[in-house]
Structure 1
Amino acid sequence: MRQIAFICLASAMLISLSACGFIKSVHDQSSTSPYEPEALQIQFVSVQEDEEQVNALADLLAKELGIPVELTIVPNYNTAGKDIRSKKSDVVMMQPYDYVEANKLREATVILQPQLSIGNPKKNVTSLKGQVLFEKSSGFSSLQDLVGKTIATQEGKDVVQLGDLAKAGIDIQKDITLLGVDSDAQGIKAVKNGKADALFAVETVPAQGLVQLETENRIPTDAIAVRPDMTDEWQESIRQAFLSLGESKQGRQLMRTLFGHVGYVPADESDYDIIRQAQELVEP
């Protein structure tokens, strides 16, 4: 009996050790080394696509980073979002809502925010006032006047304004009707032809004769985000390379002409908390 017990104990130990080895093997296979780019793939969104200027900006960044840089311009944010998720791009420009969703899935990490020059007199900002635009004849004077109305909105982009409506006591699911549009221009057209009573926008959108009603919270500018598996050292190098663009006349001119940016500032996750808070208020 003593011999049988010893054999059973030895067998159990072998099984246990084998299992531990298997678990370690699986862990080793699933872990990856921190990413260090040998050439940097950057994808930004712009309606301007001057090849000479794009290449000049890429050359400035390459000089700062010491590796080749390929800067690609795309006309919308969807492509940039997909490419950072699939790791086809190392650095991308993302809308705030898209960034928060990607960060939630650990697919992107913000390093910078672009500065925009707005107002009269001009000042550099990293957040924008939210607005509701409507025809003067509508007579709206407060957010409560939107109850029972149809509002043109771009999916995800207007979550902060929706959150402000919810904070004002408006039930987003029951009290208003949302009309999906693909652009600010489409939203303005919907209001002018009577398909919508109002649209959500930000202060940089030309009102085109519509009346503006400000919402409560400011909306952060786009996120300049990197792959989350990139080393901290490379994230910092890229951050500093973009910050250096504002130190040269050529860099300032290129980023303003291509993207409307007047500079960049280091970004923190808390800069996008307003998006997360609004999501909690409006998403069922």
Structure 2
Amino acid sequence: MSEENVVIYDRRVQTIVERAPVARIIFPGWQKDKECWMFLAAHDDDIVCGAGLTLLAGLKEGVEVHAVITANGCMGYCSEDKSRTIAAVRKEEAKESFKILGVKEENIHFLDFDDCSFYLNAGRRFADENTTSPVIAGATGLQNSYTWVLRKICPTRIFLPTPTDIHPDHQLTTKEMMISIFHAQGGIWPELGPAMEEIPMLYEYSTYSDFATLPTMRIRTNQELFEKKLDAIRAYKSQEQIELLVNGLIESGAQEYLREVNFDIMTPHKHDKLFN
């Protein structure tokens, strides 16, 4: 990319690649001042690692950006003596990381589910005296928190982990978010807030594993934004393996890939032509 361009967006439509220096040309259904991007992650460092340049590009466009972090990071310790303190440490590291990126602190949403326990927290159930997971409006579960945060933010676009990721928490994050979008745009569970008026557009980003099918978008940035992403990753000092990740990203360069996802509700007549 040329020196005068800060960000270049590429979008693949079948065999044609569209290219532009501004997001509004490439992202379908651009809503001008209403644009609001929600970056969803299982863990605090997933967003900056898999979609940090995309987030920075959104901020550069003047988009309202939110980060939603599902886990409390309690399993992210590298020495046994830190097993009881790591969650608090990682939360402070996350705040610093997102500060480096330029995300407002009030736009960072910590849902605080136990790390590596997402399968135990799938769905929604009413809380009682034995409930230890996060409670919102008298209920708990990933779908409860996701529906609540969707109605609170009302994003126009959501960036979420690819469901092919090897980490089970990443898989459940996307799986539970998809059904929560369905809940959030309807009238169910009114105690979680007013229904979203529109279904947001969806984009998968990759952290550990590749996409199920080929990516449809690429975001490239200048070196300044790339260095900001790397600095934001290095904020997670408690993660002793983080420099290995940084080295791998340096080798790949200042680019990220996304895969557009259709939120497709089944209607039987869509298959009529197969049998006519």
TM-score above 0.5: no
TM-score (normalised: structure 2): 0.28
Larger gyration radius, structure 1 or structure 2:
1
- Does 1 or 2 have the higher relative contact order (CA < 8 Å, sep 6+)? 1
- The structure with more helix, counted as a fraction of residues: 1
